[in-house]
Amino acid sequence: MLNHIEKSVWAAIVTYNSSSWIQRLIDSILASSIIPNIIVVDNASQDNTVEIVTTVYPEVKLIQCSENKGFGQACNIAMKYALEAGAEYIVQLNDDVKLAPSALSNLINAALNNPKFGILVPVNITDDGNEMDSLFAKELDKYHPPGFLSDYVLGRVKEVYEVPVLPGAVLLVKQEVLETLGGFDPLFFVGGVEYDFCLRTVISDWKVGFV
């Protein structure tokens, strides 16, 4: 059981005109086997994203930006708040994600059991849960994590496989990594920020892996 660690886990979400899918994401977080603190940083949405968050989820911390600061900088705002609130693990989530009920607990368990890993990413699957997301599978194919393909086919996957970088629709980051690297590069307005962050993490002698 991970109930003792829930208070130190934060889910961080950046929104921009996300009204079509933000409820699906937050509902999936609240239905998780561990329920983290949640912070949303809104990048000056022009739709009713802010209204949905404030009305439906009063327990969620919301920070409203007066202008669109870009994804990287908005992520840093969210993660800075979480760190100041005592976060040990921050899970950065894209606003169109839906979590499986066990996703967060699997990530936290893997982080606890593998302390040299500073970033962990869950395997991304399709909405129906029947197969791996095509973009995620394409990225895995670039790096050929040792043993994964045979383990996957034989149904004996390990808890964590090491890779240098992966797309970050969901990205668990340890407190120590953020404090060392200082967060995401704010120059990445949209896209690419997780690749840069993973590479800087590896250069700083941490490991990156997927669960």
Taking alpha carbons only, the member of 41, 36, 53 closest to residue 16 is 41
**Helix ranges, 69-147 (H):** 71-84, 103-113, 134-143
Q: Of the ranges 2-6, 59-63, 101-105, 207-211, which one carries the lowest mean pLDDT score?
A: 2-6
Instruction: Decide if pLDDT at 77 tops 90.
Output: yes
Instruction: Decide if pLDDT at 210 tops 90.
Output: yes
Instruction: Decide if pLDDT at 151 tops 60.
Output: yes
pLDDT at 1: 52
Query: Which pTM value belongs to this model?
Result: 0.92
Pairing of strands 207-210, 161-163: antiparallel
Task: Please report which confidence band the pLDDT of residue 131 belongs to, taking 50, 70 and 90 as the band edges.
Answer: confident
What are the contacts of 177-182 at 24+ separation with CB within 8 A? Answer: 177/118, 177/119, 177/201, 177/204, 177/206, 178/79, 178/83, 178/90, 179/83, 180/204
pLDDT at 171: 95
CATH class of 3-210: alpha beta
Give the mean pLDDT of 120-125.
91
Instruction: Decide if pLDDT at 201 tops 90.
Output: yes
Instruction: Decide if pLDDT at 7 tops 90.
Output: no
